[in-house]
Amino acid sequence: MPGTTTLKAEVTNVSGHCVWILVDDEELALPYSEFPWFESATIHQILNVLRPTADHLYWPDIDVDLSVDSIRHPERFPLMAKSTSQPGHAPDPPPSIP
């Protein structure tokens, strides 16, 4: 009886500038300048990566979904969200209720 194929991705390094992840036989870099969600994440959050399909990576603890192609070619995929960990960033106050 055939078993279930498990797709794996492994974080191989986390530095002050970048996260490195091994997908199949390819090691890919995720620089914080292109992938700001990882800069303020904990090591535990970064290491908890799932690979539901061959081209899809998911970090459930920080709710980040990325295609492998977007890591290879970030210039083709403009950011859909901005990091809120930038200095001086404060959320807008709620509207006043008369």
Only one residue has tokens 């700001």, namely 36
What is the total count of domains within the chain? Answer: 1
Return the CATH number at 69: 3.30.2020.40
Q: Identify whether 16 is part of a domain.
A: yes
Query: How would you write the pLDDT of the chain (98 residues) with one tens digit per residue?
Result: 565 556 899 999 999 999 999 999 999 999 999 999 999 999 999 999 999 999 999 999 999 999 999 999 988 888 654 544 444 444 555 566 76
SS3 of the chain: the string is CCCCCCCCEEEEEECCCEEEEEECCEEEEEECCCCHHHCCCCHHHHHCCEEEECCEEEECCCCEEEEHHHHHCHHHCCCCCCCCCCCCCCCCCCCCCC
pTM, two decimals, is 0.73
Q: Identify whether 26 is part of a domain.
A: yes
Q: Which domain holds residue 45?
A: 9-75
